[in-house]
Structures are given as C-alpha cells and as structure tokens.
Amino acid sequence: MSAVDIEKILQDIEKQRERFFPEAPLVVLERFPFYIKIRIEFKKGLFIEIRYNANGKRWSYVLVKDNKRVAGFDNLDGWHIHPKENPSAHKKITAPTLGYVFEYFSALLE
C-alpha cells in the first residue's frame, strides 16, 4: 500500500459520500502514507468514522451517535458486522463493498 493507494481510497469514499450523503461534509482527521481516518459528519454527535491501516489491511466503518456505536463493520478477526439490533455483537459476513456499508448506514439514518 502506498500514498497513491490511500489517495484512491479517499477518492472512493468521497464518491460514495456524494452518492449517499451529499449534504454531509467529509473531514480527513488523520492521514499518513499507510493510514487514514475520515469522518462524514451529519450533525453534532452523529457521524460515520472510517479507518484504514494498510500495514494490517485493517478496515473499520462505524456509525456513531452521541459517542456510542449504532452499527459498524470491521475486519478484525475476519469481516463482521456490529448490527443495529445489538452493536456490541459480531456477526460474520463476507467483505462488504463500500456502497453496501453506506447503503446500510443510510437506511439507519432515515
């Protein structure tokens, strides 16, 4: 993974943000050649946070409201979802597409 790949990841996230959440700004909180942390902010205390660490190929997507996970996806110990019904649970899944993650979160925000 290189800085160019981090740039492509950022472009992909921005493209999906524009598709699903065009009114919500994207904020890059941290960016290094092998790591990026992004937020898509809806209002105070409500946001999606995305993290990618190329060294471990580790992804994390989480919808947060009032400092609590509403739902999320990550690949620590294999891909799994933290479903809205029980955000602390781990339900194994196949690797989701970014579009699927955003669609899932979008439905929760309606």
Domain extent, residue 29, equals 3-109
The predicted structure's pLDDT at residue 2 = 53
From first to last of the 110 residues of the chain, give the pLDDT tens digit: 455 589 999 999 999 999 999 999 999 999 998 999 999 999 999 999 999 998 889 999 999 999 999 999 999 999 999 999 999 999 999 999 999 999 999 999 98
Instruction: Give the pTM.
Output: 0.92
Domain count, the chain: 1
Report CA dihedral (50, 29, 45, 87) to the nearest 10 degrees.
30
In DSSP notation, 69-104 reads EEEEEE-TTS-EEE-TT-TT--EE-PPPPHHHHHHH
The predicted structure's pLDDT at residue 9 = 93
